[in-house]
Every structure is written in C-alpha cells, then in structure tokens.
Amino acid sequence: MDFLDRSFTQLKTRKWLFQVLEFFFLAVVFGLSYTQDPIYSSAGNQHTKFLHGLANAGRGFLSQDWFASTTDPLPVFSFLVQITYSIHVEYLFYFYYFLLFGAYAWSIVGIVSSFYDVRKNLLRYLLFLILLIAIHTVHIKFFDVDTGKFLHQGVAKQSILMDVFQPACFGAFILMSVYLFLIERRFLAILALGLASNLHPAYIPSMGALVSIYIFLDLRDGRSAKKLLSMGVFALILVMPVVIHMGLSLIQPSIAVLQDSALDIIVNERIPHHADASIWATKPDFPLQLALVIGAAIALKRSKLRAIVAGSLAFAVCLTLLQIVSNSSFLALVAPWRISVFLVPLSSCVLLVKLESALFEIVDVSSATKYRFFLRSCVAILTLLVIYNSVAQVLVFLERDNAIPLLNYINQTKESGSIYLVPPDTKKLQKFRLYTGAPIFVNRKTHPYRDAEVIEWDKRLGLAEAFYNVNRTGDRDRCDVLNRIVEEYGVSHVVVQKDRQAPCAELKSIYSDRKYLLYEVVQ
C-alpha cells in the first residue's frame, strides 16, 4: 500500500502523464463497474439510434426498412455508426463507451477538485471513486426511489449514461465542458459542448445555457468584449450545421396542418414520460433530485461552479414553467428539463465531496497506521465493487431471452424484399431489426420526427395494433387488416406469440418455438 501511495504522489508531479493515466484508469474502472448490455441485443433506444447508420453501412437488408428512408435526426452519430460498422470492428462501440465513461468520471473528479482536493492523497481519491461508483451502480430502493438511478439520472427518465452506447452518452462532454471552463480552457469547453450537441441535438439547450453562463461569468470578471464575442461566434459556428439540418429537415412543416398533429403524436402518445411535466414532475424522485441540485448550489461557496449550477437550474426552471403555462408541444419536445442530466450527477458528487470532507474531519487518519488501514479498506471495497459489477456484466452478456431462437432463425433465413410484421409493443422484439438485419413493418419504440413521416408511422402503428389486438378486432376483421397491410406495404412474414392469434388463411407456418410462431404470407 505504501508503494501505491508513493506512486500516486510521484505521478501527480508529472501533470500530463498523470492526467492521461487517470483518464484511462477511470475509463476502465468505471466502465467495468457500469454494466452495459450487448450491442443489438437489448431493448432500448439503441435500436432507433443505430438504424440509419447500420442501414447506410449495409447491415443485412435494413436499407429496405421504411424507417431507414425517413429523415435522420442524428446524422453525425449515424455517420459514426456507419463508419464503425463498415470497417467490421463492431466491438469499437464498447470502446467508444469506455472512453465516454472515462470522460464522464474524469470530468467529475476534475470539477469537484476545483473546491476540494480529491487528489491530495490516494485515500481521498479512492474513497471518492468508491462513492462515485456507488451512486451509479448500487441500487437501494425506498418508496419507489432507486438510489442507483435518481442520484445520477436526470428527470423525465433522461440520463447521460445508459445501458447501451447511444447519442445521449455524449452528454459526458457537457461535464467535460464545465471542467474545462473551470480550468480556464474556454474554447475547449465550448468545443466539448459543440461535440455533444452535434452528436445529440437534444443537448443544444444545454449548450445555449452553459455558453451564456460562461460569457456572463467572463463579463463579470472583466474579460474584453472581443474575447467574449469570439466565444459566442465559435459556439454558433459549431452548432449551426445541426441547427440548419434540424430546421430544414425536421422542424419546417411539410404541410402546415401536419406539424401540430405530428407533435401531438410524439409528445402525448409516444414519449409523454419524457415530454409531459404532469407525468415526470409527479414521480417520487423528482423532488429529491430538485433538492439535490438546490442543496449543491447552497453548499458551494461563491464560485464559478456555484454560478454554473444555479444558472443552469434557473434556465431549466424558467423554460419548464414557460412550457407548462404555454402548453407548447414544441417546447415539450425540446425538453429544456434535459439540463438535469448533468446537473443531477454533478450536484450529487458535490454533496458527496462535502460528505467525504466531513468524514475526514471526524475520523483521524493522521497516523500512518490508521491511514494504511483505511487505504487498504478502500482498495478492497473498490476491488469488490469492480469484480461484482464485472461478473454482473458477464452474466448480462450470457443471458438469452425467449426471443433469441426466433431471431436467430430469421437472421439465417432472411431474404431481400422480405418485410416482417411483428407485435409492435413487445419489448423483447425491439431488437428485431438490429439483431437480424431484417426490415419490419413498424414498432412503437422506433419513430421518426418529420411531420409527414410521423403521421405515416402512426398509421402503420394503428394497422399493426388492429391486427394484434384480438380483444378489439374480431378474427375476420383482423385478417382483413392483414390483407390491407400485405397489399399496401408488401409485408411477407408475420410473427405472432403462441396462443394469442389464430392464423389467417393467407398465412403458412414456417417456424415455431415455445414462445413465437412465424408465418409466411401466401399470395
């Protein structure tokens, strides 16, 4: 242990080497601790966010999927996916996520070090790292609140870190931006915000808020107007391409009357859990998360970090109240409360550092014997956390749900021109497209954003629900719906769950397992 402590102290004197080694150390430790799902195999946003990129790269026949022809809201991220898949190194997706884990943890350590020297000695450092990992991976539930979620996730079920690599994970660059600004690297701070916003345009409001706060703080400190103007212009240059893309491709209505209908479908039918304040603000974790942020702002002494936390909170609260008062569907889709995805983990870590500081005031570690004891304890706890979560990671990768046999069969037998009708609300089949590389008719999870495309998606979803909802549709009417889907959209195969639907005359059974049946449409 003495060797570790001495090495840590010596490395700190070599600043750049220490920073690089620290980044990769945190990437590995935090990455192993925060469990990921296998690519293409989990139920979640990955199957929406990856589809355009994989279709462009030629995975299976995804280019024939209707959704692949819709307007891509994430062109930069899709290009990253396309390039990665094209060079046949899909494991890079895990590597990308490990780098983002490193950026996330490294930035948080740097931010809290601005007011408390976490790196003073190895004991302080490891204790904070244990606390940081704990609030992300240790799930203690009370009154429907999960400590492994509400302490680092934002409101409205939004977060930087997810079960899989996806655009939201680039929110780590927002935390990096805060850290870079605190150490006087202003243009790098704005560049980090630009990267986050281009890879996930939902972060544009966060970028606007933080750039405004940065400029205000520098104006207060007496920086020249020329330098402040250059910061603002640089930010605009970075964000302008994605703003233009969204304005021309997504926001500008195809037909004026369609925009309101499309926004209503997305906000009130597809993502009310993200977009409706009357839903997410009534969850039990919301007041706790709000208290965390307010508590952190109070706990921080007068400083730039306090201004960043308080200013970002004020920005989010004002726009949220504006959305509630105006009932604007567009503002609900923009979701200004997404700022909470970096405010909550940052605030939690501020309070954790305050807790650690209080602990060291109470517990005397000045003697070498006590110091070594606590250092050994921290090393042991950290090792156990990493091992436990790594084992959990392996188990997740070994897990196979009851949809896998069906998907393996389709992956081996799919042909060009085939389109599969699948139950649109079955969570285990959300991975159908990416896992098999085969096009489907529609599902609820994956939706477009351009107004005319949203209307078409909603129409398709209604037809699929009419076919699969036996209680709402009689067998004869259901088969009429299937005939319409086949004739209008060229569906060639139908997946049903066993004991749910009787087959129509047009269907020929070609596969069966304990959970699913696969039929081919007989013309």
Predicted pLDDT at 1: 66
Predicted pLDDT at 112: 96
Beta bridge partners of residue 494, listed in sequence order = 421, 519
Q: Which of 490, 514, 513, 516 has its CA nearest to residue 503?
A: 516
Query: What percentage of residues in the chain have a pLDDT greater than 90?
Result: 78
Does 473 score more than 90 pLDDT?
no
Does 4 score more than 80 pLDDT?
no
* 83-92: long-range contacts, CB 8 A cutoff, minimum separation 24: 83/57, 85/53, 85/54, 85/57, 85/58, 85/59, 86/57, 86/58, 90/39
Residue 470 lies in a domain: yes
Least confident of 172-176, 254-258, 334-338, 342-346: 254-258
Torsion of CA 105, 106, 112, 113, to 10 degrees: 150
Query: Among all chains, which residue has been given the structure tokens 């919301």?
Result: 286
Q: Which of 65, 54, 64 has its CA nearest to residue 88?
A: 54
Does 85 score more than 90 pLDDT?
yes
Predicted pLDDT at 187: 97
Predicted pLDDT at 8: 75
Span 56-74, average pLDDT: 97
Predicted pLDDT at 147: 86
**What SS3 string covers 388-411?**
HHHHHHHHHHHCCCCCHHHHHHHH
Span 452-464, average pLDDT: 96
Beta bridge partners of residue 369, listed in sequence order = none
pLDDT band at 255 (very low <50, low <70, confident <90, very high): low
Beta bridge partners of residue 495, listed in sequence order = 518
Task: State CA 473 to chain mean position distance.
Answer: 37
In this structure, the strands spanning 493-497 and 420-421 are parallel
Beta bridge partners of residue 141, listed in sequence order = 146
Does 256 score more than 70 pLDDT?
no
Task: State CA 503 to chain mean position distance.
Answer: 39
- Model confidence pLDDT, tens digit, residues 345-383: 999 999 999 999 999 999 888 888 899 999 999 999 999
Residue 432 lies in a domain: yes
**Mean pLDDT over the full length of the chain:** 92
Predicted pLDDT at 325: 96
> Could you give the CA distance from residue 48 to residue 327 in angstroms, rounded to a whole number?
27
Predicted pLDDT at 502: 66
Does 48 score more than 80 pLDDT?
yes
Number of domains in the chain: 1
Does 193 score more than 70 pLDDT?
yes
Predicted pLDDT at 156: 95
Query: Angle of helix 122-137 relative to helix 92-112, nearest 10 degrees?
Result: 120
Write the CA distances from 504 to 109, 247, 441, 523, integer angstroms. 61, 45, 18, 12
pLDDT band at 504 (very low <50, low <70, confident <90, very high): confident
What does pTM read for this prediction?
A: 0.95
- Model confidence pLDDT, tens digit, residues 114-123: 999 999 899 9
For residue 155, give both structure tokens: 């409101």
For residue 506, count CB atoms less than 10 angstroms from its CB and return exposed for 0-12, middle for 13-18, buried for 19 or more.
middle
Residue 511 lies in a domain: yes
Query: What percentage of residues in the chain have a pLDDT greater than 70?
Result: 96
Least confident of 11-20, 244-253, 297-306, 424-433: 244-253
- Model confidence pLDDT, tens digit, residues 395-435: 988 888 889 999 999 999 999 999 999 999 999 999 999 99
Residue 38 lies in a domain: no
pLDDT band at 105 (very low <50, low <70, confident <90, very high): very high
Beta bridge partners of residue 493, listed in sequence order = 420, 520
Contact 517, 495 (CB under 8 A): yes
- Model confidence pLDDT, tens digit, residues 203-232: 999 999 999 999 999 999 999 989 999 999
- 399 Cβ contact list (under 8 Å, min separation 6): none
Does 475 score more than 70 pLDDT?
no
Span 462-484, average pLDDT: 83
Q: Which of 471, 469, 391, 390 has its CA nearest to residue 423?
A: 469
Span 194-200, average pLDDT: 98
Domain that holds residue 459: 404-521
> Could you give the CA distance from residue 315 to residue 211 in angstroms, rounded to a whole number?
12
Predicted pLDDT at 45: 82
**From the CB of residue 394, how many other CB atoms can be counted at a distance below 10 Å?**
10
pLDDT band at 10 (very low <50, low <70, confident <90, very high): confident
Predicted pLDDT at 140: 85
Residue 411 lies in a domain: yes
Q: Which of 187, 191, 158 has its CA nearest to residue 174?
A: 191
Say which DSSP state 445 is in: S
Residue 507 lies in a domain: yes
Q: Which of 199, 204, 169 has its CA nearest to residue 45?
A: 169
Q: Which of 157-166, 242-251, 463-472 has the highest mean pLDDT?
A: 157-166
Residue 247 lies in a domain: no
Least confident of 86-90, 130-134, 281-285: 86-90
Residue 473 lies in a domain: yes
For residue 491, give both structure tokens: 């569906």
Between 95 and 469, name the one with better pLDDT: 95
Q: Which of 242, 241, 219, 247 has its CA nearest to residue 231?
A: 219
pLDDT band at 501 (very low <50, low <70, confident <90, very high): low
* 149-154: long-range contacts, CB 8 A cutoff, minimum separation 24: 149/285, 150/285, 150/288, 150/289, 150/344, 151/292, 151/344, 151/345, 151/348, 152/344, 152/345, 152/348, 153/341, 153/344, 153/345, 154/289, 154/337, 154/338, 154/339, 154/340, 154/341, 154/342, 154/343, 154/344
Does 453 score more than 80 pLDDT?
yes
Predicted pLDDT at 159: 97
Does 258 score more than 80 pLDDT?
no
